[in-house]
Amino acid sequence: MSNQSFRILSNLRRLQLRQSQFRKYGPAFISRWQSTTHSKEERNRRLPDDGVTLSHFISNSQSNSKPANEQGEDIGPIPISAPLGIESSQFSNRVLKFHLKTYGCQMNVSDSDIVRSILLDENATFSGNQISFEETQEEMDADILLTNTCAIRENAESKVWQRLRELRAHDNKNPLEKLTIVEAEEENEDRLENAVRFGKKKKAQKRKRIIGVLGCMAERLKEDMFKDGTADLIVGPDAYRDLPRLINALAPKPISTTGQPLYETPMMERALNVELSFDETYADITPVRANPGDVSAFVSVMRGCNNMCSYCVVPFTRGRERSRELESIVEEARILYEQSGVKEICLLGQNVNSYHDRSENAILTNPALETAGNEDDHSKKDIYKAGYQTSNDGFSNMFRLRGGAGYYFVDLVEAVSNISPELRVRFTSPHPKDYPPELLSLMAERHNVCNHLHMPAQSGSSTVLERMRRGYTREAYMELIDDVRSTIPDVAITSDFITGFCGETEEEHEDTLSLMDHVKYDQAFMFAYSMRGKTHANRTMTDDVPDEVKSRRLQEVISMFRTNIQIRNDELEVGKLRLLLVEGESRRSKEGARTWGGRTDQNKRVVFPISGETPECWSEESVRPILNALNRTYPSNTMIRSDLFHDFARSPKVEIQAGDYALVQVDDARGHTLRGKLMWRASMQGFHEMGLDQSDLGLFGSLLTK
């Protein structure tokens, strides 16, 4: 036997051994080899000392079936590596195509951008193997079908199950090309030798696509997701760095590249890594956005949630709160603004305004004050930094108090808004407890921090809020609404509501309707309660509101929202000048009736008709002299006006592009979408400097819209 054949055979034997171990110990073994870089002691040292205990999050985060030998001893990690004697260059031209579909919230969209970045990283190497990935938008063109999932409600999960079944059925009908696969069996070396040397004992097999489930549902259900045979790969939200290695284990490997290529059966049939992390923030990964041309970008600033609201599965699927370093966030936002044409950054996190960067650098730069709490010596900001402050005294953290040195959310918003006065800053999804006065003041001061606060109430009843473990009463929440409206003029307030939570009475439901009627929200996301496993409600309460009652109450809150938003938009928006960040042609735009659209500071969508292919209007430069003069002299100095109008009429019109700011006069409201007339292209700074009064437009307004 030649040396070459001998080497290949011994490699194959190693692989077969691993395969048989896998078959013996089940798919879960791969999760045990999660490539954590910290020892147990190190990880414990790195843990923040606030919040709930670790066991809340990790007790069920690991697979139940650990790899063990027949005596039940832990056999430890089984690394996957390139077979000896096969050069890694043989794998380097192996390109696998993946298709990625995302369900759920913005965090999932942002996580998919991280997954894309990990897979497209040319330098992704692991254990000596190297494969490269390519994204495809065509499902049936892909080798790997990834679905990033949401577990927040049962119907979100049902959609995913349905998709997985459809994908498998589709794959069975339209398999990938046939591969010549060598069936490697440990005890049959001769057959293998022949197969490798002479291409005998080989058979052409249909290659199945790898179906992978990522995200919250993967984390919640773990191995259970393998049960109906549709999924091959399960990866939780903190394990995305492991994806290339896991996919490598599932893909058939080339064992000979000369002559007719031969492939070995994949090392594993199924692979799983659902380990939650205490410090993974993917801070060093530059996300690859699905739509790089979008004028808005999401930047993930923190992960996980410590709140443990009694209905919510997020703390179990996303783990503990951890924040990215402020500097890395600002850098990512700066690059998006300066190099990718992004004009709006939305800071993202499950409880985004509970952000707290406690890295060494943050602690040195922003130490806690020794005299915390002494209002005579320090500004409110100092006190906030020294000791964590809730929105008002009626709010509490459900778990231990936080505080101490480092950067808080207000520092982050300030730092990102400093990048440029032309860059808008938003954030989602916040908790109402984390709106300290300092943050509200900053939002009021800065034109580029959007006047929009999401304040998920969930219920208007203090007794339901207590059962939900939200940490506030109806009264504290309403006091905060008053503070917000008196501090930030023209602010839009939005919310989430759940109907039919455990034990909800008609009276408690009426409290929700009356809160909605009182606040008059600018947008609301409303859901019927869906009981989730592991949550406090699941363990201690009964899901006793019948489905038809939940649905009827849901319809009532939806109709309360709709009635109020129409009244509010008719009163506050119609006739008003709004500065839009133009996003491009509207979805419903069609030949002969073209419309473009964008969003206001208040996050309201406005569409405006255009006459040609692209919008054209006046520029800020040509409008400014007239508006300045109108402000100072109207109506007495008609000479100035006629001179200026003469110049204005001769000035050229400019084209509007996605990413421009433009002034629109709103002339109609249909529910929560507004329609308007395009006035002029603006800059955010210019618009605010002009200090425009809505009544300035007068006759000039109708001239502008011609």
Which residues of the chain form contacts with ligand SAM (CB under 6 A)? 105, 152-153, 311-312, 314, 350-351, 429, 431, 456, 458, 496, 498, 527, 529-530, 532
Q: Which is nearer to ligand SF4, 149 or 366 (CB)?
A: 149
Binding string to ligand SF4 for residues 505 to 544, with x set by CB under 6 A, is what? Answer: ----------------------------------------
Q: Is residue 307 within the footprint of ligand SF4 (CB under 6 A)?
A: yes
Q: Which is nearer to ligand SAM, 255 or 524 (CB)?
A: 524
The reply on whether position 351 binds ligand SF4 by CB under 6 A is yes
Closest approach of ligand SF4 to the CB of residue 314, in Å: 4
Distance of closest approach, residue 310 Cβ to ligand SF4, in angstroms? 9
Exposed (0-12), middle (13-18) or buried (19+): which is 539, by Cβ within 10 Å?
A: exposed
Query: Taking the complex as a whole, how short is the minimal distance between the CB of residue 545 and ligand SF4, in angstroms?
Result: 19
Nearest CB to ligand SAM, comparing residues 85 and 456: 456
Residue 532 interacting partner from ligand SF4, ligand SAM, none (CB closer than 5 to 8 Å by kind): ligand SAM
Strand partners, 669: 674
CB of 568 to ligand SAM, least distance (A): 21
User: Looking at beta carbons only, is 315 or 406 nearer to ligand SF4?
Assistant: 315
Question: Judged by CB under 6 A, does residue 244 bind ligand SF4?
Answer: no
CB 270 within 8 A of CB 312: no
Instruction: Compute CA distances 687 → 404, 661, 681, whole Å.
Output: 39, 9, 10
User: Measured from the CB atom, is 33 or 435 closer to ligand SF4?
Assistant: 435
Element (H, E) at 15: helix 3-25
Partner touching 67 among ligand SAM, ligand SF4, none, CB below 5 to 8 Å by kind:
none
In the shown chain, the binding pattern of residues 330 to 349 toward ligand SF4, with x for contact by CB under 6 A and - for none, equals: --------------------
User: Should residue 433 be labelled a site residue for ligand SF4 when binding is judged by CB under 6 A?
Assistant: no
The least distance separating ligand SAM from the CB of residue 153, rounded to whole angstroms, comes to 5
Dist CA 96 CA 662 (whole Å) = 44
Interface residue with ligand SF4 among 222, 289, 358, 431 (CB under 6 A) is 431
Q: Which is nearer to ligand SF4, 289 or 433 (CB)?
A: 433
Nearer to ligand SAM among residue 272 and residue 305 (C-beta): 305
Stretch that binds ligand SF4, among 50-58, 224-232, 278-286, 308-316 (CB under 6 A): 308-316
Report long-range pairs for 116-123 (Cβ below 8 Å, ≥24 apart).
Answer: 116/287, 116/288, 116/290, 117/285, 117/286, 117/287, 117/288, 118/240, 118/241, 118/243, 118/244, 118/285, 119/243, 119/244, 120/288
From 32-40, 193-201, 307-315, 586-594, give the range in contact with ligand SF4 by CB under 6 A.
Answer: 307-315
Instruction: Select 468 or 663, whichever has its Cβ closest to ligand SF4.
Output: 468
- Could you tell which of ligand SF4, ligand SAM, none binds residue 267, using a CB distance below 5 to 8 A set by kind? none
Between 114 and 313, name the residue whose CB sits nearer to ligand SAM.
313
User: Closer to ligand SAM at the Cβ: 431 or 604?
Assistant: 431
User: How many C-beta neighbours within 10 Å does residue 588 have?
Assistant: 10
Task: Give the binding range for ligand SF4 (CB under 6 A) out of 232-240, 290-298, 312-320, 376-384.
Answer: 312-320
d(CA 345, CA 336): 8
Smallest gap from residue 4 Cβ to ligand SAM (A): 56
CA-closest candidate to residue 510, choices 447, 450, 463: 463
Which one of ligand SAM, ligand SF4, none is in contact with 152 (Cβ closer than 5 to 8 A by kind)? Answer: ligand SAM
CA 163, CA 231: separation in Å to the nearest integer?
Answer: 11
The dihedral over CA atoms of 467, 305, 477, 523, expressed in degrees to the nearest 10, equals: -110
Cβ closer to ligand SF4: 352 or 423? 352
Closest separation in Å from C-beta 553 to ligand SF4: 19
Closest separation between CB of residue 660 and ligand SAM, Å? 32
In terms of C-beta distances under 8 Å and separation of at least 24 residues, what long-range contacts does 564-570 make, across chains too? 564/516, 564/517, 564/520, 564/521, 565/520, 565/521, 565/522, 565/523, 565/671, 565/672, 566/669, 566/671, 567/520, 568/520, 568/522, 569/604, 569/669, 569/671, 569/672, 569/674, 570/669
Pattern of binders to ligand SF4 over 389-428, x per CB under 6 A?
----------------------------------------
Does residue 314 belong to the site contacting ligand SF4 (CB under 6 A)? yes
305 binds ligand SF4 per the rule CB under 6 A: yes
Q: Give strand pairing partners of 596.
A: 585, 608
Q: Are 508 and 464 a contacting pair, CB within 8 Å?
A: yes
> What does the alpha-carbon distance between residue 559 and residue 549 come to, in Å, rounded to a whole number?
15
Nearer to ligand SAM, 289 or 431 (CB): 431
The closest of 423, 249, 414 to 338, measured between CA atoms, is 423
Q: Which is nearer to ligand SAM, 458 or 461 (CB)?
A: 458
DSSP per-residue letters across 211-242: EEEEEHHHHHHGGGGGTTS--SEEE-TT-GGG
- Other Cβ atoms within 10 Å of 20 Cβ, number: 13
Burial string for 655-671 (b: 16+ CB within 10 Å, else e) reads: ebebbbbbbbbbeebee
Q: Of these partners, ligand SAM, ligand SF4, none, which one is at the site of residue 250 (CB under 5 to 8 Å by kind)?
A: none
Q: Which does 496 bind (CB under 5 to 8 A by kind): ligand SAM, ligand SF4, none?
A: ligand SAM
578 neighbors 563 (Cβ within 8 angstroms):
no
Taking the least distance from each CB to ligand SAM, the nearer of 311 and 395 is 311
Interaction partner, residue 387 (ligand SAM, ligand SF4, none; CB < 5-8 Å by kind) = none
The token pair at 518 is: 């009182």
Q: Interacting stretch for ligand SF4, rule CB under 6 A, among 288-296, 310-318, 367-375, 380-388?
A: 310-318
| Helix intervals (H) in 488-619 | 506-519, 536-540, 547-572
Whichever of 308 and 516 has its CB closer to ligand SF4, that residue is: 308
Give the rounded distance of the alpha carbon of 336 from its chain centre: 16
Asked if residue 309 binds ligand SF4 (CB under 6 A), the reply is yes
Q: How far is the CB of 288 from ligand SAM (least distance, A)?
A: 24
Closest distance to ligand SAM from the beta carbon of 562 (Å):
18
The size of the interface with ligand SF4 (CB under 6 A), counted in residues, is 10
Q: Which of 15, 105, 239, 312 binds ligand SF4 (CB under 6 A)?
A: 312
CA proximity to 428, closest of 586, 585, 302: 302
User: Which two structure tokens, joined as six digits, stand for 1?
Assistant: 């036997």
Query: What is the DSSP secondary structure assignment for residue 266, as one 8-state letter?
Result: P
Q: How far apart are the first and last CA of the chain?
A: 87
Residue type at 280 in one-letter notation: E
What is the token pair recorded at 517?
Answer: 């009627």
Instruction: Report the C-alpha gap between 104 and 218 in whole angstroms.
Output: 13
- Report CA torsion sign: 38, 44, 49, 53: positive
Residues in contact with ligand SF4 by CB under 6 A are 305, 307-309, 312, 314-315, 350-351, 431
